[in-house]
Amino acid sequence: EEALREKKLLDETVQKLNKECELLREDKQKADFLLTQCKEKVKSISKDLEVARERCDELVTESNKKEEEKKHMMESLAVVKKEAVESAKKAALNLPSSSNSGVKSEFTMEQMTTQVKYLSDRINCPVCNTREKKCILLRCRHMFCRQCVDENIKNRSRKCPACAQRFDTKDVGEIWL
């Protein structure tokens, strides 16, 4: 009888241990599933991180190009200002001699400055207002600087900045003013 009780107790203990093993197996399967999901998330995040790094590198390169272009523009502006000051000095020196010779200008300096500003506005690109117009969109006949048109093409925003008419790369022509 005692042996039967011990056998019964041992059988119950074995059943309990089997149940615990089954629960542990289920927990292991759940943990494996969660681990697989986490690995997939890490892989996806790593891919997104790589894309973000590449975009960041592109933006840094573009920023450096823009900075270099800005530096070049500032140098050009300084040269133009210097030339303007020199021209104004020459004009001031020549003004008394021309008035003595009887030649009189029909326009005041303010009118001339206004006219120069108007004409430079006509020549400069309407998008950036700094560079001269160098190309034309053949579909709508609007003119812009090469950099602004190239920027639109690069961004796949192939619409005229002035009238929003669609254009293709073959619709861009060179002009010389």
Element (H, E) at 174: strand 172-174
In angstroms, the CA 89 to CA 115 distance is 19
Give pLDDT, residue 99. 47
Give pLDDT, residue 146. 93
Residues 72-123 pLDDT 10s: 999 989 898 888 888 888 887 776 544 444 555 677 888 888 888 888 888 8
In angstroms, the CA 164 to CA 137 distance is 11
Percentage of the chain with pLDDT > 90?
59
Whole-model pTM: value is 0.39
Residues 20-51 pLDDT 10s: 999 999 999 999 999 999 999 999 999 999 99
- Mean pLDDT for the chain overall: 88
Give pLDDT, residue 98. 46
Q: Which of 9-18, 119-128, 130-139, 141-150 has the lowest mean pLDDT?
A: 119-128
The pair of three-digit structure tokens given for residue 134, joined into one six-digit string: 């160098």
